[in-house]
Structure 1
Amino acid sequence: MYEFVTYEGGVYKSNLMIEKIEDLGGYIIQKNKESREISMLIAIPEEDLPAIEELASELKGELHPEKLIGTELAVVSPSISRHHLPHPVCDIAERLRRAGALTNIVSIARGVGRRISQITKEEEKMIEEYDAAVFILGNFGNCLVHHKHKLLKNIEVPVIAVGGPELDELENADEYISGVGRKVDRMRKTEEQQKLDEVAEAVGEHIERERQKIAEDPLVLHPIEIKEILEKELPLEEHEARHSPVVLHLDGLRVKLPYPEHIEKIKQIKVGQYRLNEIARLHKSKNEAEDILIKIKPRSLIETEKKEAGEVGEKQMAEAS
Structure 2
Amino acid sequence: MLNATVVLPDRPLPDLRFAAECDCLAHLYGNAGDRPMRVRFYATDLTDEEWQVVRQVMPLPGWLLGRGGNPEGFCHREMLDAVRYFVDNGNKWRAMPADFPPWQAVYAFQRRWQTDELLDVLHDRLREQVRMVEGRDDPEPTAAIIDSQSLRGASTLVGDRRGYDAGKQVSGAKRHIAVDCLGLLLVVMVTAADLQDRDAGVNLVERMRALFAKVRLVWADSGYAGALVDWALHKLALNIEVTRRTDDKAGFVVVPRRWIVERTFAWLVNCRRLVRDYERTAAAHESYVKWAMITLMTRRLSATGVMPPR
TM-score scaled by structure 2?
Answer: 0.27
Query: Greater strand percent: which structure?
Result: 1
- Larger Cα Rg: Structure 1 or Structure 2? 1
Relative contact order, higher structure (CA 8 A, sep 6+): 2
TM-score scaled by structure 1?
Answer: 0.27
